[in-house]
Amino acid sequence: MRVFRFFQALLLGVALAGSALAQSGRPIRMIVPLPAGTATDLAARVLGQQMSTVLGQPIVVDNKPGANGTIGVMEMVRSAPDGHTLLLGSQSPLATNVAMVKNLAYDPRKDFSPINGFGETMHVLMVKPGFPAKTMSEFVAYAKQRPGKVSVGSTTSSVQTQIATLNKLGSIDLLVVPYKGIPATITDVIGGSLDATLVDLANAMAQAKAGRLVPIAVTSIKRNPLVPDWPAVSETLPGFDFPSWVGLVGPAGMPKELVDKLNAAVAQALRHPDVAARLSTIGMTPMLMSAEQFKTVIAEETTKWIRLAREANIQPE
């Protein structure tokens, strides 16, 4: 009887939290700390549309790009913890920035109310058709014979860290070439002035389908179900594990019953078949978990990137 009353009270609290949120008359603002058209922005629009249906409340996606995502994050962090301002962000603002951004104004382990994961993806190591290496083991062997000469495009500190880890695990010396964005690296690999690049999965699938680039391996520790024939780097270099993900957070101090309500809404949205189908078009698979599990993911990823940046001798900028 006591157990029944406990769960009855819990469900009532969640219902009241959702009711209070909906009856406020204000839409929920979902901040995206990246420009429109990015994978995270597209994911936010998929989530926002379905969550709005679940909650019976408007959700407005608000793009606030700049400063490695910190502009959007800080706007969310400074907002009231009432559920009306949330942020859908990638692992960069939600974890990696601690290792990569100098004098970061927030700590994702303390200043967020983690709500739920949403989508998981990864990068893909790609070369042009006709490149001498067709597999990861061939790529490593080719690079070993040409230390400091096999060029790989780097678009972010995260990608730079991945290349540094390839060098360490493969005992090779890849030449890192900085770029401002992935499209430019794709152009230069196709043109022959760059040997390889790390591309987001959505772009990788499009380039492979068109026959412009050839996938060598994905950067997650396991193969991705969207491209099951593409091997993982870890199959050749054990321990290499660089997934990318996006998740939903709110400002610190949100009531547990409100977090639970929003977590359930994300879970319901992710279980909708149209959402999974739309995520697959942007190279993402659903990443569903409890709020506590997502809190653990953020903490573990933050610690991981601090360690990786230190090992790669990458200084915050």
State pLDDT tens for residues 114-171.
999 999 989 999 999 999 999 999 999 999 999 999 999 988 777 888 999 999 999 9
Q: Is the pLDDT of residue 193 over 90?
A: yes
15-29, 87-101, 206-220, 281-295: segment of lowest average pLDDT: 15-29
pLDDT recorded at residue 263: 98
pLDDT higher at 40 or 289: 289
Domain ranges in the chain are 2-119+244-311, 122-235
- In this prediction, residues 43-71 reach a mean pLDDT of 94
Q: Is the pLDDT of residue 222 over 50?
A: yes
Cβ-count burial 112-150 (b if 16+ within 10 Å, e if not): bbbbbbbbbbbbbbbbbeebebeebbebbebbeeeeeeb
pLDDT recorded at residue 36: 84
β-pairing, 196-200 with 112-127? antiparallel
Q: How many CA atoms lie within 13 A of 143 on its CB side?
A: 25
90-94, 155-159, 173-177, 261-265: segment of lowest average pLDDT: 155-159
Separation CA 192–CA 4 (nearest Å): 67
pLDDT higher at 10 or 127: 127
Do 241 and 305 meet the contact criterion of CB atoms below 8 Å apart? no
Separation CA 14–CA 20 (nearest Å): 10
pLDDT recorded at residue 312: 80
- Looking at the DSSP assignment, which residues form a beta bridge with residue 60? 29
For residue 248, which phi and psi values (nearest 5 degrees)? -105, 130
Classify residue 9 as exposed, middle or buried by CB count within 10 Å of its CB (0-12, 13-18, 19+).
exposed
pLDDT recorded at residue 30: 98
32-36, 51-55, 118-122, 213-217: segment of lowest average pLDDT: 32-36
pLDDT recorded at residue 274: 92
Q: How many CA atoms lie within 13 A of 264 on its CB side?
A: 13
122-235 matches 2-119+244-311 in CATH topology = yes
Mean pLDDT of the chain: 90
Do 44 and 61 meet the contact criterion of CB atoms below 8 Å apart? yes
pLDDT recorded at residue 185: 93
Separation CA 139–CA 53 (nearest Å): 48
In which band, very low, low, confident or very high, does the pLDDT at 23 lie, cut at 50, 70 and 90?
A: low
CATH superfamily, with its number, for domain 122-235: Periplasmic binding protein-like II (3.40.190.10)
- In this prediction, residues 76-94 reach a mean pLDDT of 96
Q: Is the pLDDT of residue 15 over 80?
A: no
CB atoms within 10 A of CB 169: 16
> CA Rg, the chain, in Å?
21
pLDDT recorded at residue 17: 47
Domain 2-119+244-311, architecture per CATH: 3-Layer(aba) Sandwich (3.40)
Closest CA to 260 of 36, 7, 24: 7
Q: Is the pLDDT of residue 10 over 90?
A: no
